[in-house]
Structure 1
Amino acid sequence: MSNTPEPTPPGSNRGTTRIVAGETSKPKRRRTLEIGIAVGLVLLIGAGAAVASVVAKNNETQAAAATTPAAELKLGYFGNVTHAPALVGVSKGIIAGKLGSTKLTTQIFNAGPAAVEALNAGAIDAAYLGPNPAINSFVQSKGASISIIAGAASGGAQLVVKPGINTAADLKGKTLASPQLGGTQDVALRAWLGKQGLKTNPNGGGDVAINPTDNAQTLKLFQDGKLDGAWLPEPWASRLVLQAGGKVLVDEKDLWDKGQFPTTILIVSKKFAAEHPQTVTALLQGHEASVNWLNSASAADKATAINAALKATAGSTLPADVIDRSLKNITFTVDPLAGTYKKLLQDGVDAGITKPADINGIFDLRALNSVTGQKTSAAGLGQD
């Protein structure tokens, strides 16, 4: 850049400052102005710093307030034996005890899609459900809706049919049921039928008609001969076998490596988790304690506790043989078996229930691992 002075515009007195001995080359007025500006800048910077400090403190206060324990936790689950960690955890006061001052309220659902709809609407904050509705919600929301924070149960789902049905081919032209369209058992049924060369569609058409039906209604329809079979979780699979004369055509555990597949998981609203991480940790403490109780209790004590919870939630208990058969088919675990989720997603795609998607980020197992002191893996699909 040149140091040559710019030409003085006509009529301007720019550049005419007199230099007098004992004075600087700047006039007093300008010095006074510059001093005033400098002081003003100092004051402005100081005021800005003060404002910034107040804003920062306010932000810190708001952040602290936003992550305090929730006044209330609204929890959803089903009246199924596969949801025993919730049934026992609620009825025995295990979860409420860990929540401390946070009030626990609960809501009972028949199937996962309804629970996810309630969670996304803010009617509940967390839920026990099957993995496929959780995957579908995560995909549809582009990862913004839910996080899977723990497993609850593995196993305990079967396709039970009339005695005269012996092969997949025998199902052509028949009518089957599942708990709800898009639910975990619904997806498993549709995906399995597709692998057998039998087509289905969501509106009930195809080679095999699938009617999503409430579990209790499914039992009655099967007993009345109006259904040929159903893919159901426990205790409903056992009820169709023991109370309605059905037989198992497919035990879902036979379709999975080592017989392990998630039947029930625990999810939480991402918004709730961000605002109340302490409450999520407390929920997981209660959940782990419930699973530990189930895995250490005698068969008789488990049956008694589960039946007491079912009596409170559904108004009736299960016969001893039904609950005994159900419990033999289920493993209770806090591990969500993350390694199965790519297949679960593909099953949903094959069933026409969801779309191909990236489900990386669906798990947040950090709080679970903090609670258990173990390293439950997210299998590269989230944080652990």
Structure 2
Amino acid sequence: MSTKTPTTARRAGMRLALGAASVALLATTLSGCAASADAASVGASAGPAAELRLGYFDNVTHAPALVGLENGLLQDSLGSTKLSTQIFNAGPATIEALSAGAIDAAYIGPSPAVNSYIKSKGESIKIVAGATSGGAALVVRDGINSAADLKGKTLASPQLGNTQDVALRSWLSGQGFTTDTSGGGDVKITPTDNAQTLTLFQSGAIDGAWLPEPWVSRLVVDAGAKVLVDESSLWPDGAFPTTVLLVRKAFLTEHPDTVQALVAGNAASVDWLTKNPADAATVINKKLTADSGKALSDAVITRALTKVTFSTDPLASTFAVSLKNGVTAGTTKTGDLTNLFDLTALNKVRTAAGEPPVSAAGLGAE
């Protein structure tokens, strides 16, 4: 595996390109605001934010955040706006921080985003870009070879109501099992911090878990687990969003140009990951080491990176299914997802890069 990192010249060139693109995109955004119903209130913009507070997870599924921070791509795009960060374990805790005004934007899974939007009747958040698809699975111990073998077993998920928790509960329901949010039912689900899940699996305290990468690969490589259900097998063409980029709705209204810059920085991170696969593991591990003091093994990160795809397309057409799954899981209520997305900034970035625009699937501005 290559250990080459981006050169200083490459970073400098990228900074100049991003700076020029941000200026052009900002001018386009401000001139086109009147054309977007969702952006009608942008006239009250307070200008660029002095600070943007960003949440993310130390997961391979959040690699656009990890690379964007480690390589300086997000800060470069934000310019004079200070970028502050906070690390979370799962989506519901991230949404709590967003709701409390403690952070302004976050990389997060679809289910907590949907739940927040429904609970707030559309006033809490806007999804502004995609980041990662794929990279989630149900892993189990030896002796469990089919869904039928799960009855009476104990499984873990990262947090009640997070994207993998919802996937697990809705899948079990489809297999004819009952679960409940207090840990009862035919299959017991115990929401657990990912690092603790690994320890509990190794000790025999749990029988499996539905997890994102790199935790799937950690249980497979480090603890001898096997994949019972790769979540990609449950979606048409195997494509499902694992991580999207969202912002507080109020922050978007107050600082649309800052959100534009954040979206451009995220696109630069995704582009870097796409063009530098040989260097991705090194850069991701460098950030993980800075955050936690520990890198992933070569075997784990190599396996994990084969399971994910990086794209700015949030796959908006899948979100109605995410809502349905959350209702089935008992972690959210049914509701209207209209205007969940504002992809206007993203599509300006994509157009400027010669890429086709992505669809909001009738769920917002594009």
TM-score (norm 2): 0.87
In structure 1, the residue matched to 2:169 is: 190
In structure 1, the residue matched to 2:265 is: 286
In structure 1, the residue matched to 2:363 is: 381
Q: Which amino acid aligns with 1:82?
A: T
Question: CA deviation digits over 1:291-347, x for unaligned, max 9?
Answer: 000000032x10100000100112110000100100000000000001111111100
SS of structure 1 residue aligned to 2:145: coil
Structure 2, unaligned runs of 5 or more: 1-40
Pair member with larger Rg: 1
Displaced runs of 4+ in structure 1, greater than 6 A? 62-65
Q: Aligned pair 1:124/2:106, yes or no?
A: no
Question: CA deviation digits over 1:193-232, x for unaligned, max 9?
Answer: 0000000000000000100000000000001111100000
In structure 2, the residue matched to 1:53 is: none
Match 1:346 to one of 307, 324, 330: 324
Structure with more relative contact order (C-alpha pairs < 8 Å, separation 6 or more): 2
TM-score (norm 1): 0.83
Q: Which amino acid aligns with 1:159?
A: L
Q: For 1:337 and 1:282, how far apart are their aligned partners in 2?
A: 21
Q: For 1:199 and 1:188, how far apart are their aligned partners in 2?
A: 14
- Aligned positions of 1:14-33 closer than 5 A: none
Query: What's the C-alpha RMSD, in Å, of the aligned pairs?
Result: 1.1
SS of structure 2 residue aligned to 1:133: helix
**Is the Cα contact below 8 Å between 1:67 and 1:278 reproduced in 2?**
no
In structure 2, the residue matched to 1:36 is: none
In structure 2, the residue matched to 1:233 is: 212
Q: Aligned pair 1:161/2:140, yes or no?
A: yes
Match 1:334 to one of 276, 287, 312: 312
Structure 1, unaligned runs of 5 or more: 1-61
Q: For 1:153 and 1:298, how far apart are their aligned partners in 2?
A: 14
In structure 1, the residue matched to 2:38 is: none
Q: For 2:314 and 2:42, how far apart are their aligned partners in 1?
A: 30
Using the TM superposition, give the Cα deviation of residue 67 of structure 1 relative to its aligned residue in structure 2, in angstroms: 2.9
Q: For 1:63 and 1:184, how far apart are their aligned partners in 2?
A: 31
Q: Aligned pair 1:366/2:344, yes or no?
A: yes
Q: For 2:109 and 2:364, how far apart are their aligned partners in 1?
A: 18
Q: For 1:89 and 1:63, how far apart are their aligned partners in 2?
A: 27
SS of structure 2 residue aligned to 1:379: coil
Using the TM superposition, give the Cα deviation of residue 63 of structure 1 relative to its aligned residue in structure 2, in angstroms: 7.7
Match 1:223 to one of 188, 197, 202: 202
Q: Which amino acid aligns with 2:303?
A: R
Q: Which amino acid aligns with 1:346?
A: K
Question: CA deviation digits over 1:109-135, x for unaligned, max 9?
Answer: 000000011011100000001000000
Match 2:53 to one of 74, 77, 82: 74
Alignment: residue pair count: 322
Q: For 1:149 and 1:209, how far apart are their aligned partners in 2?
A: 35
**Is the Cα contact below 8 Å between 1:360 and 1:380 reproduced in 2?**
yes
Q: For 1:93 and 1:375, how far apart are their aligned partners in 2?
A: 26
In structure 1, the residue matched to 2:152 is: 173
Q: For 2:54 and 2:119, how far apart are their aligned partners in 1?
A: 22
In structure 2, the residue matched to 1:133 is: 112
Q: For 2:296 and 2:107, how far apart are their aligned partners in 1?
A: 21
In structure 1, the residue matched to 2:15 is: none
**Is the Cα contact below 8 Å between 2:44 and 2:253 reproduced in 1?**
no
SS of structure 2 residue aligned to 1:304: helix
Q: Which amino acid aligns with 2:53?
A: K
In structure 1, the residue matched to 2:231 is: 252
**Is the Cα contact below 8 Å between 1:173 and 1:208 reproduced in 2?**
yes
Using the TM superposition, give the Cα deviation of residue 66 of structure 1 relative to its aligned residue in structure 2, in angstroms: 3.6
SS of structure 2 residue aligned to 1:104: strand
Q: Aligned pair 1:311/2:293, yes or no?
A: no
Using the TM superposition, give the Cα deviation of residue 356 of structure 1 relative to its aligned residue in structure 2, in angstroms: 1.3
In structure 2, the residue matched to 1:4 is: none
| Identity value in percent | 63
Q: Which amino acid aligns with 2:132?
A: A
Q: For 2:259 and 2:131, how far apart are their aligned partners in 1?
A: 15
